[in-house]
Structure formats: structure tokens, C-alpha cells
Amino acid sequence: MARRVAIVGTGHSKFGVRNDVNIAELAYESITQAIREANIEKDEIDLVITGYVGGWSSEPLAPPLLLEYTGLTGKPGYRVEAACATGSAAIKAAYDAISAGEADIALVVGVEKMNESPTPTVVEFIGRAGNYFWEFENFGLTFPGYYALYATAYMQQYGATEEDFCRVAVKNHYYASMNPKAQFPRKITLEQCMGSRYIAWPLKLFDCSPITDGSAAVVLASEEVAKKLTDSPVWIEAIGASIGTSNLSKRPGFTSLPAAVTAAKAAYKKAGIDPDNPAKYIDVAEVHDCFTIAEILAYEDLGFAKRGEGYKLIREEQTYIGGKIPVNLSGGLKAKGHPLAATGVSMAVELARQLLGKVEKGRQAPIKNGRALAHNIGGTGHYAYVTIYSLEKPRQA
């Protein structure tokens, strides 16, 4: 019988341009926090899952290096990669191992040192995450270009404006200003966003997430072990996952990510959440806002808004604290930063701390239902993970 799994320890580095550390030292920051918070010794860890995309870093085989530096050499484990959804994929791998009885305690760490390469190189590497020969080579699509296609299609079909996209950036910078771990812990105005230069019309500089160095880590434990370690576990209630098409031309349109819809429905079914009104069950969400249009699409793909009405949520400030569903109170990828493999793990850290009331004043969501949601996308909908975290023990493993 499958076992229940809980988060019992969390760790998070400062995100940004981290030229002050190498990649092993960067991972060490979050790993040691998570182990200390879990109140365990290193030799109690049964499994280590490392999320790492790499390519831009000087270390192609970073996982053995960072485990050696942290004193975890010899542990069973492996590296996971699912583009920008790598962190959530790594959590799923550890969750599955514990649920199946292959481990009692697992450490999950996601880390990237993206700024070791110049910006054009990073942009190219990320652009290759689509359909390389058809879209990148033939049409020169980079990720801003991909999401500009979504933005223009959404504007044309539903009447959203560039100001609506910028409202997402303003919100996320507002909450990042209260997050000391964020890459950009400062507020911006709507006018600043609208006045920033275009990257790929209609997306401007402030519509785009940055290139980020950072790490995040969680310690997962089986129910039996979690009870011994803490009186406040955060349970992984459900994980939905889906893989989309590689080629955008194989998808039905540019105003939704089908993989995200499928992953959300799977997670809701496992958690007993009404897919027609999930906001009724969830206190706070972290969604994959690699570009501002992506957050608006997430509102709709997750069922927080009807199709074509996601922009109204941000226009009416319904995704701020006090609104229908607070979203990206960490600052999101847009302002907290987006070190690819660390992002999904960072979401888990943020949401566990939100549920336990352990985030900074001013960005703490009211916790009524005891549930939080993470929405993590790899590529432009090539991978999708939707994870439900809960203070209540899952009804079934």
C-alpha cells in the first residue's frame, strides 16, 4: 500500500546573480537549511534527488560535486531534468520512492548557476527547449518569442491589453519587495513596466523573468518518520503531471497550455477538489509566470477563472491577498527569479512556509483551508506539474 509523504524541512538560497559562490556552495546554502529544519543528521537521508538543467554552468556533472561538498557522497540518488519543471519533477521522483517504500527520508535539491554564461548563450539554450529543428532553427524562436505568440493571440481573442500583462509584474514585484530571498526585492509601477523596452512585442522587459542563480531544497519523509520529526508536517496531497507536444503546431491554439489543464485535473481528482471551483479549496498558489502572460494563462488553465477572463482577475486585483486567490506571494519567477531546476522546489519551500505561517509580514496569505497549489511548467507547456500541498493528512496515499 502506498505511503503518505510530507515535507519536514525546507531551505532556500538568495536568488540573483551569485558571483560570490560556486555551484556547490550555492546548493549548500539551501541543503543545510533544509536538513537543519528537519532536525536530522546527514546519515539518516536514504535518497538524494538533484534537479539540474545545466548547460550554462562550467560544471556539467554538478550533482556529484555538490553532494561531495555537502558531505552526502555515497547516498543513492540521481539527477532529474524536465526543463523549467525540473524542480517539481525531482519532488515527484522522491515522493514516488518514499510512497513505494524505497526510502524513508529523501533530500530534494534544485540548483542552477545560469549567469556563468553570457545572456545570448542562455537565451539560445533555453530556446532550444522547444522543437529545435522546426521552431528554433527554421523560425528563430526564443522563449520571449514563444510567449509573445501566446500574448498576441490572447489579446486578439479576448481583448486583454499590455497594461493587463504589466499588472501581473506590478503585483509580483510588490510581494517580492517583502521577500529577502528574491532577485528583485523592489516595487515597480505600472508606468515603469509600460515604459520598459520591448523584448518581443507585446512583451517588455518587465514582462520577462530574469536569468537567475539559486538553489532550493526540501526534506521529504514517510508518514511514520514525519510524525517523529515534527508536529507540523506539510503533506503532499496530490501531484498531477502531463507532457505536451514538442511542436506548437500540434496544439489546438495559443491561449492555453493543454498539459497544464491535464495536470491540474489529475491533481484535483486525487485531492477531491472541484475542478470547476478550485479556488474555494486553495488558500494560496505559486504559478509559473516566466512571462506575465503565462500567469494569466495559468489562472484559466487551473480553473481560477473562466476561459478568456483570466486578465480580469489581475485587473480587479483578485490575485492579491484579500482577493479570490492570492498568487505568487513570493514574487514569482518574474521578481523572485527563475533558476530553472530550483524553481519547482522553491515553490514547495514557499508554499510549505505559507501554510505554516512562516513567511515575512505583508505577504502571508490567510490560511483557512490548509491547502496550497504549485503550478510548474517546463518549456512552453512541454511538461506540466500541478502539486497540492496540505496541512491535513491526505485522505488516501
> Tens digits of per-residue pLDDT, 73-87?
999 999 999 999 999
pLDDT class for 136, splitting at 50, 70, 90? low
In angstroms, rounded to a whole number, what is the distance separating the alpha carbons of residues 249 and 208? Answer: 24
Q: Above 70 in pLDDT, residue 397? A: no
> pTM surpassing 0.95?
yes
Q: Check if 84 is active-site.
A: yes
Q: If we measure between CA atoms, which residue out of 29, 62, 386, 69 comes closest to residue 241?
A: 386
Q: Check if the beta carbon of residue 304 is closer than 8 Å to that of residue 278.
A: yes
User: What is the model's pLDDT at position 249?
Assistant: 81
- Strand bridging mode 77-80 / 105-113: unpaired
- List b or e across 185-195, with b for residues whose CB sees 16 or more CB atoms inside 10 angstroms: beebeeebbbe
Per-residue pLDDT at 130 = 74
Residue 237 scores a pLDDT above 80:
yes
Looking at domain 5-118+211-229, which CATH architecture does it have?
3-Layer(aba) Sandwich (3.40)
Q: What is the mean pLDDT of residues 211-215?
A: 98
Per-residue pLDDT at 69: 97
**Mean pLDDT in residue range 374-386:** 96
Using pLDDT thresholds of 50, 70 and 90, give the confidence band for residue 180: very high
- For residue 246, the model assigns a pLDDT of 86
- The arithmetic mean of pLDDT across residues 154-171, rounded, is 98
> What is the model's pLDDT at position 396?
61
The pLDDT of 184-198, averaged and rounded, is 98
Instruction: Determine contact, residues 383/244, Cβ cutoff 8 Å.
Output: yes
| Residue (of 376, 308, 313) closest to 155 by Cα position | 308
Whether the per-residue pLDDT at 137 is higher than 70: the answer is no
Q: What residue type is assigned to position 71 of the chain?
A: G
Look at residue 203 and tell me whether its pLDDT is greater than 60.
yes
Of 171, 180, 216, nearest in space to 361 by CA: 180
The residues facing 383 across adjacent strands are 243, 378
DSSP H or E run through 200 = strand 198-200
Give the C-alpha separation, 395 to 322, whole Å: 29
Q: Which residues pair with 385 in a beta bridge?
A: 241, 376
Chain segment 241-293, per-residue pLDDT in tens: 999 998 888 889 999 999 999 999 999 999 999 999 999 999 999 999 999 99
CB 241 within 8 A of CB 331: no
Active-site residue (options: 84, 193, 208, 290)? 84
Q: How much is the pLDDT for 58?
A: 87
Catalytic residue among 288, 338, 375, 382: 338
The yes-or-no answer on residue 375 being catalytic is no
Domain boundaries, the chain: 5-118+211-229
What cell was used for 247?
Answer: 511542436
22-71 confidence digits (pLDDT tens): 999 999 999 999 999 999 999 999 999 999 999 998 888 888 999 999 99
Counting residues of the chain whose pLDDT is more than 70, the rounded percentage is 97
pLDDT at 247: 82
Angle at 216 between CA 215 and CA 219, to 5 degrees: 140
70 strand-pairing partners = none
pLDDT in the model for residue 250: 86
Confidence of residue 129 (pLDDT cuts 50, 70, 90): confident
Q: 131 pLDDT exceeds 80?
A: no
Distance CA 148, CA 201 (A): 6
Mean pLDDT of the chain: 95
Q: Round to whole Å and give the CA distance between 298 and 46.
A: 35
